[in-house]
Amino acid sequence: MSADIAGLMSRIDEVCNKVADLPRQEIVLTRLIYFLFREMNECFNGKLAVFGLNTTSYVALMNIFASPNGVIHPLELSNAMYSARTNITRLADELVNNGWISRHPCPSDRRKVFLRLTDKGLKLIHQVLPVQSAAMKEVWKSLNASESIEMQELITKVLLNIKSS
């Protein structure tokens, strides 16, 4: 479902008219970012579905792919994805069941396991990357290069502010 920007603004204005001293601009930005995330997620999930993926499983695979030697500890993956360890366990189960990753015991600590891409997972990543890259370019094509860099800097600034609060 596409976000109704005019309706959003109208509802925010209505609330701000009813309640004094609300931070209208901050509310607008927060809601727009929420809608942006939802729309991007929907767009990317549509592209990834043909591969049997969604954005969560794709991001997990990419985090493993980006790790040294294609190996990651589940706690590292949890931190990288801002997700609870139990969610990562379920996600890893799904990725293992699909044959995209495998679990390997840690040689120095039997309680630990590592997640590793399989050949099938690596092949999948190489199939998905061009499609996902094209989708990302399409999503952000309304920004020129300097606007894109500025957007990155602004979002990073807000994220760092939240993390330091």
Single out the residue in 51, 69, 89 at which a domain terminates.
51
Q: What is the pTM of this model?
A: 0.87
Same domain, 28 and 96: no
Same domain, 89 and 157: yes
- Both tokens of 49, joined, read 């579905």
- The whole domain housing 81 covers 52-164
User: 6-18: string of b/e by CB count within 10 Å (b at 16+)?
Assistant: eebeeebeeeeee
Same domain, 142 and 89: yes
Total count of domains within the chain: 2
Cα–Cα distance between 34 and 28 in angstroms, integer?
Answer: 10
Same domain, 68 and 35: no
Same domain, 7 and 62: no
Same domain, 44 and 78: no
- Which residues touch 136 (CB under 8 Å, ≥6 apart)? 44
Same domain, 58 and 46: no
Cα–Cα distance between 50 and 86 in angstroms, integer?
Answer: 26
Same domain, 32 and 9: yes
Q: Looking at residue 91, which CATH number applies to its domain?
A: 1.10.10.10
- Both tokens of 7, joined, read 């309706």
Same domain, 46 and 63: no
Same domain, 27 and 97: no
Same domain, 93 and 160: yes
- Where are any strands of DSSP class E within the chain? 71-72, 101-105, 113-117
What residues form DSSP beta bridges with 114? 104
Task: Using only the alpha carbons of the chain, give its radius of gyration.
Answer: 20
Query: How does pLDDT run along the chain (165 residues), one tens digit per residue?
Result: 455 888 999 999 999 999 999 999 999 999 999 999 999 999 999 999 999 999 999 999 999 999 988 899 999 999 999 998 899 999 999 999 999 999 998 888 778 899 999 999 999 999 999 999 999 999 999 999 999 999 999 999 999 999 898
- Number of residues assigned to the chain: 165
Cα–Cα distance between 2 and 23 in angstroms, integer?
Answer: 25
Q: How far is CA 69 from CA 59, 64, 115, 118, in A?
A: 17, 9, 11, 11
Same domain, 44 and 59: no
